[in-house]
Amino acid sequence: MSTALAQKRGLGAAIWDYLTTVDHKKIAQLYLVSGGIFFLIGGLEAMLIRIQLMQPNSDFISAGLYNEMITMHGTTMIFLAAMPLIFALMNAVVPLQIGARDVAFPFLNSLGFWLFLAGGLILNCSWFLGGAPDAGWTAYAPLSATSPGHGVDYYVIGLQISGAGTLIGGINFLVTIVNMRAPGMSYMRMPLFTWASFVTSNLILFAFPALTVGLFLLMFDRMFGSAFFDVGLGGNAIIWEHLFWIFGHPEVYILILPVFGAFSDIFSTFSTKRLFGYSAMVFATVLIGFLGFMVWAHHMFTTGLGPVANSIFAVSTMAIAVPTGIKIFNWLFTMWGGKIRMTSAMLWSIAFIPTFTIGGMTGVMLAAAAADYQYHDTYFVVAHFHYVIVGGVVFGFFAALHYWWPKMFGKVLNEKLGKLAFWPFFIGFHLTFFIQHFLGLMGMPRRYWTYQEGQGLDLGNLISTVGAFLMAIGTLIFVYNVIYTAMKEKKVSGDPWDGRTLEWSIPSPPPFYNFKQTPLVRGLDPLWIEKQDGKTGMTPAEPLGDIHMPNGSFLPFLMSLGLFIAGFGFIYQVDHKGWLALVFIGMGITLGSMLTRSLKDDLGYHVHKEELEEGGGNHES
Amino acid sequence: MANNTNSANKPVDFKKKHSKEEMKQQVITFALMIMFTLVAFGLVLAEVTSFFVIPILIILAIVQVLFQLYYFMHMKNKGHSMVSVMMFGGISIGILTIITFTTIIWW
């Protein structure tokens, strides 16, 4: 099997390899590419929004299209860009950091990716098939339940399918981290990125079902004539808001926690110091995850929950500032007295600290329920969540990609271009969003198509749009950097940053079985400990032996394809029952693939000891 | 498992004793669970006021579930801490949701 793969391959074979792969490193690349493309699409939508708002009474895009833009910008960025990029990092790094040869469920890992992609494509097909969803990324009922056309149907079906993929991916990482750590890798020796991925996977497991339920209710309301959100028939529109935010608030921690973990690893590596307050960092991560489930109603202060509920949720929200503060100070103390190397990854990380702190402060302001009546649905809120999501998550992605790029692709991203991308993005980001705090305080409501002249909003919006263009320039320089690095840069060793954790103890990119021999972990920052003892690599925990690997499979792609087809059937069967044929065909493909998977034993194959000894089996290019 | 390969008498004795202990606990819990069920049926048959019966039935049900999990599904044994963290985490989040829905949405 492995020798057959080692042959020179054409383009078709390479595509087939990616369609059937169950290797977590290749799935990471798939997540990275598709998430990156969706990020660019979401960015394009953001640019159109900003151009529309550049001048008062602008008519650049129509009001209806504007609604579709804001909806798809939010939905794309959260579900189709940030989530897959999180999974790209987790797939690329977590198994390596815990010394595992693969994830616990390689097949499910691949299924998770293809489901996400199927959902994302369905959502974006709506642009060409009669209009995108236009009820906001939160799709509040009753607007979403009554919005005409098929836009919101695409939202429901697309998110349902990609949400299933995310749930599967989360469970996979949960089991991987619990069961597949190398000997000696106890919980309190796991790198912070792995810890954060573990907590994130827990949040996915517990939060996504709420979204699934909410989407099903909305689907039945829109497609099958039920009335869960129809007040006229005894329904209750507020239930959607609750279900959405019971999912939605943990979701923002699902996004931010892994990059917190990545920052921790980056600060520690580039300060050449052990992470300050490791156990406090772990505690803070778990606490943020835990508290993340008790704060969702702070998105709904003005819906009339009553003063008691508002106070409870205000206090629990403010409590989250405590563990987050612990993290901020620990990062600062990690750098204190360290031998700091100002790489691009470090630059993004350092820029993240003040940026995220500003976002956190406005967060506490918004958490004050009484004051929130003033801020509610204004640009103040828009500024706040862009400070935490762009200033936190997007800065984090850039930092983490610079940091782990050599591990994923064997080449260091060009440092000069990396810094050149940072400055326009960083300056542009603050230009775009800092002024929006004040626009919001002056009363500019979010999601409005345009605004009147002479209300003091003109200059602020112009500055904001100029900033957005700078961010776009920064992003394009980063994309150029990726291409430039792939063409021009030289291969580097497995450990270009003088790393501390297990992933830097193996070649870059790693062989498909990751570790020839499972390493023995002797403490936190295991590779650093060995370096301190004058060794060059990890001590193996086992003799060289045969390695069991899973076979690739085309079934995950087929299952997702089936759901993709069935999705269109569900959307259009409202118009004509003939469309139900698509549902039957699609579900037939999916269920048939599941049956095949259940009935056919697939026991994988072994990479033999002899192949490993002659350096064979390592056919990654 | 490793101690089974040792042919000395001690580990075997220990294992026997352990199984005996386990058996005893299972029989006791089983008896208790049957008793709980009888009590539950008895209360309903005796037509005690529902204000009193419903909470009792719920408590008995919870205790039975815990018996089931801890004694029959071995959650009391070692190596199940992650399982219980996950289960109780999920349960507490579910309960939080239900409390919210019953207090501030449906009243």
pLDDT, tens only, B71-81: 888 888 888 88
- The DSSP code for A527 is H
CB contact under 8 A, B100 and A297: yes
Sign of CA dihedral A312, A315, A320, A323: negative
- Please indicate if any CB of chain B lies within 8 Å of the CB of A305: yes
Q: Which token pair is B99?
A: 């409390």
Beta strands in A202-279 (DSSP E): none
Contact A56, A451 (CB under 8 A): yes
Contact A145, A133 (CB under 8 A): no
Interface mutation target, options B93, B95, B98, chain A, most CBs of A under 10 Å: B93
Given CATH 1.20.210.10, say whether it is the number of domain A2-553+602-613. Answer: yes
Give A305's contacts in chain B (Cβ within 8 Å): 104
Q: Are residues B33 and B18 in the same domain?
A: yes
Q: pLDDT tens across A360-409, in order?
A: 999 999 999 999 999 999 999 999 999 999 999 999 999 999 999 999 99
Interface mutation target, options A174, A176, A206, chain B, most CBs of B under 10 Å: A206
| Per-residue confidence (pLDDT) for residue B11, from 0 to 100 | 72
To which H or E segment does residue A547 belong?
A: strand A547-549
Q: How many CB pairs under 8 A join A and B?
A: 27
Residue A613 to residue A22: CA distance in whole angstroms: 24
Residue A454 to residue A27: CA distance in whole angstroms: 52
For chain B positions 88-107, those within 8 Å of chain A (CB to CB) are 89-90, 93, 96-97, 100-101, 103-106
Residue B75 to residue A448: CA distance in whole angstroms: 55
Distance of CA B67 to the CA centre of its chain: 2
Contact A24, A91 (CB under 8 A): yes
Burial class (CB in 10 A: 0-12, 13-18, 19+), A364: middle
C-alpha distances in angstroms, A598 versus A35, A169, A233, A356, A605? Answer: 30, 19, 43, 47, 18
Q: Which token pair is A417?
A: 């271009």
Contact A191, A97 (CB under 8 A): yes
Q: Are residues B32 and B49 in the same domain?
A: yes
Q: How many other CB atoms are there within 10 angstroms of residue A205's CB atom?
A: 18
Residue B88 to residue A129: CA distance in whole angstroms: 45
Q: Which of A205, A206, A309 sits opposite B104 (nearest CB)?
A: A309
Give A237's contacts in chain B (Cβ within 8 Å): none
Contact A366, A314 (CB under 8 A): no
Residue A127 to residue A236: CA distance in whole angstroms: 30
Distance of CA A407 to the CA centre of its chain: 19
C-alpha distances in angstroms, A504 versus A18, A321, A612, B45? Answer: 25, 33, 20, 69
The residue behind tokens 């000894």 is A613
- Please indicate if any CB of chain B lies within 8 Å of the CB of A249: no
Q: Which token pair is A545?
A: 């032996």
Give A205's contacts in chain B (Cβ within 8 Å): 86, 90
Residues in chain B with pLDDT values less than 70: 1-10, 107
Q: Which of B82, B96, B105 sits opposite A293 (nearest CB)?
A: B96
Q: Which residues lie across from A411 on neighbouring strands?
A: A491
Q: Are residues B87 and B44 in the same domain?
A: no
CB contact under 8 A, A309 and B103: yes
Residues in chain A with pLDDT values less than 70: 1-9, 615-621
- Neighbouring C-alpha atoms within 13 Å toward the C-beta of A424: 16
CB contact under 8 A, A236 and B103: no
Cα angle for residues A15, A401, A183 (degrees, 5° grid): 85
Distance of CA A160 to the CA centre of its chain: 17
- C-alpha distance from B28 to closest chain A C-alpha (Å): 33
CB contact under 8 A, B96 and A294: yes
- Neighbouring C-alpha atoms within 13 Å toward the C-beta of A350: 17
**Range of the structural domain that residue B82 is part of:** 78-107
- C-alpha distance from A523 to closest chain B C-alpha (Å): 22
Q: Which token pair is A114?
A: 């293809």
Contact A510, A424 (CB under 8 A): no
- Of A291, A249, A288, A284, residue with least CA distance to A264: A284
Q: Which of B82, B93, B103 sits opposite A293 (nearest CB)?
A: B93
- Of A98, A123, A239, A227, residue with least CA distance to A175: A98
Phi, psi of A605 (to 5 degrees): -145, 170
Amino acid A485 reads T
Q: Are residues B71 and B86 in the same domain?
A: no
Residue A276 to residue A336: CA distance in whole angstroms: 9
Distance of CA A456 to the CA centre of its chain: 37
Q: Are residues B20 and B65 in the same domain?
A: yes
| Per-residue confidence (pLDDT) for residue A3, from 0 to 100 | 44
Q: Which residues lie across from A607 on neighbouring strands?
A: A547
CB contact under 8 A, A305 and B93: no
- Please indicate if any CB of chain B lies within 8 Å of the CB of A293: yes
- Of A324, A343, A214, A159, residue with least CA distance to A269: A343
| Per-residue confidence (pLDDT) for residue A22, from 0 to 100 | 95
Torsion angle of alpha carbons A58, A63, A67, A70, nearest 10°? -10
Q: Are residues B93 and B56 in the same domain?
A: no
Beta strands in A150-223 (DSSP E): none
For chain B positions 50-79, those within 8 Å of chain A (CB to CB) are none
The number of folded domains in chain B is 2
